[in-house]
Amino acid sequence: MIFNIFKKELVDTLRDKRSVRMMVIIPLLVFPVMLNLFIFSSKKIEENQAEKIMHIGLIRGNSNFLTAKLKQLSNHKEKQLLFYKDSLQLIKALNTKKIQVALVLEKKFETKLKAFQPARVNLISNDTELGFSERMNSDLAQIEQQLKKERFQQLNINETTIQPLDIKATNIASTKEMIGKLAGGFLPYIFITFGFMGCMYPAIDLFTGEKERGTLETLLTVPVARWRLLVGKLLVIVVAGLISATCGFLGLFLEIEVFGFTAEPEIATLIHSILSFKFILTLYLLLIPLIVFIAGLLVPIAIYAKSFKEAQSMIAPLNFVIIVPVIIGFLPGIEYNWVTASIPIINIVLATKELIAGTLTIGLMAWSFLVMLSFAALAVLFSYKQFDKENAIL
């Protein structure tokens, strides 16, 4: 009987354009569209910035040592030097975007340089114009490097003598571990965000929607136990959440594989090595109770709400409540141990990070799974209590 209910509700849900849009189309397209747009626009901005001539305003820069050095740089054609007498004029030029950066040299600039003292250069910029202060800093760094070398030669100092420590850092963590620990929380984030989105519309449609359309009353007169009706509907919500989350993953996979999000072959090979059958299976094993938990939280709200709008407005804050533990799981320094493995949602985020890093221990994973499963069972039980309430149901 549960299968009959599940089958009918699934057909009904898959024929609802709004649910399909939220369940399949948006999760599938969001990454390819968003990331490609991001890559395209940042590339375009970078190109535009590189092509733009940088106008540099200088005070006390006429026939100066620094001016000469700037003109000697290989990229000197991409910049134009403009000389000012006072800082008021200089600031005005910056504000009117006549110049993008300004260099104010101290009065004894050249004297200090010659005396082997640090000579001050004030770099003033209007950073609402992206990229220019970075370009200027890079040029100044090049000039400083040259000056250092010249000073070492003039003072007859071997550069190594002023470097007392020769530090050689070795990171014994593999790239896989690094990705797992630092970016591993991203996968459950995708799963939970899209899973929630996928569950939301079917949950509202199958409970609040049925109430609004007057079909629930008829359904309650059929000789089928109320828990069976609930389980049949709940399964559809879980499947919708899983489809949505899977589409989110597929979208990301599509972005990496087809659109070549990462140009680094090492990273691409690493992603391929992570995405094994065993990995996907374990990931779903961890995430399925989480989706059941989400569905179990959504259903009582959908039962309680009297209209689609009311349900939507009540569910929106829940989204935030669920995302907060995901973000906590993201934070560096939050370790996966028996305490964090006992906190729902956070435990799944941390377990996924460990899974990607290849450091997941079976004991902690089993405990996290059991904890999440228990919370999912409680949420379903709460849904049943709400579905059985005469006051709420009609």
Partner 1 sequence: MIEVNQLTKVFDLTKKQRKELATSDKQTTAVDGISFECKPGRIFSLLGPNGAGKTTTLRILATIFQPSQGTVSICGINTLEQPQLAKRKIGFLTGSTGLYARLTPNELIKYFADLYGVSASDFEKRKEYLFTLLNMHDFQDKRIGKLSTGMKQKVSICRTMIHDPEVVIFDEPTSGLDVITAKNIIQLIQDCKDQGKTVIFSSHIMSEVDLLCDDLAIIHKGKIVYSGEMNAFRAEMQAQNLTAEFIRIIESSNK
Based on the shown chain and the rule CB under 8 A, indicate whether residue 16 belongs to the binding site for partner 1.
Answer: yes
DSSP state of 124: E
Minimum Å gap between C-beta 248 and partner 1 is 25
Cα-Cα-Cα-Cα torsion 254, 360, 245, 323, nearest 10 degrees, comes to -120
Minimum Å gap between C-beta 129 and partner 1 is 54
Minimum Å gap between C-beta 246 and partner 1 is 23
Based on the shown chain and the rule CB under 8 A, indicate whether residue 140 belongs to the binding site for partner 1.
Answer: no
Alpha-carbon span 389 to 209, nearest angstrom: 17
Minimum Å gap between C-beta 390 and partner 1 is 5
Based on the shown chain and the rule CB under 8 A, indicate whether residue 1 belongs to the binding site for partner 1.
Answer: yes
Alpha-carbon span 362 to 342, nearest angstrom: 15
Pick from 19, 388, 6: nearest CA to 209: 19
Per-residue x/- marks for partner 1, 208-247, CB under 8 A?
Answer: --x--xxx-xx-xxxxxx----------------------
Q: Which is nearer to partner 1, 166 or 390 (CB)?
A: 390
DSSP state of 276: -
- Bridge partners of 79? 54
Minimum Å gap between C-beta 317 and partner 1 is 18
Question: Given the DSSP bridges, would you call strands 101-105 and 121-125 parallel, antiparallel or unpaired?
Answer: antiparallel
Q: Which is nearer to partner 1, 143 or 224 (CB)?
A: 224
Q: Where are the alpha helices (DSSP H) in the chain?
A: 2-14, 17-20, 26-51, 65-72, 87-95, 109-114, 132-154, 175-183, 186-203, 210-213, 216-219, 226-257, 265-274, 277-304, 308-330, 346-357, 362-387, 390-393
Minimum Å gap between C-beta 322 and partner 1 is 25
Based on the shown chain and the rule CB under 8 A, indicate whether residue 12 belongs to the binding site for partner 1.
Answer: yes
Q: Which is nearer to partner 1, 170 or 221 (CB)?
A: 221
Per-residue x/- marks for partner 1, 163-202, CB under 8 A?
Answer: ----------------------------------------
Q: Decide: 295 and 233 in contact? Cβ < 8 Å.
A: no
Which of these ranges, 6-14, 97-105, 260-268, 288-296, lies near partner 1 under the rule CB under 8 A?
6-14
Minimum Å gap between C-beta 341 and partner 1 is 38
Alpha-carbon span 345 to 322, nearest angstrom: 8
Based on the shown chain and the rule CB under 8 A, indicate whether residue 144 belongs to the binding site for partner 1.
Answer: no
Chosen residue from 51, 86, 166, 390 binding partner 1 by CB under 8 A: 390
Pick from 329, 291, 299, 311: nearest CA to 193: 291
Total residues at interface with partner 1 (CB under 8 A)? 23
The binding site for partner 1 (CB under 8 A) comprises 1, 4-5, 8, 11-12, 15-16, 210, 213-215, 217-218, 220-225, 390-391, 394
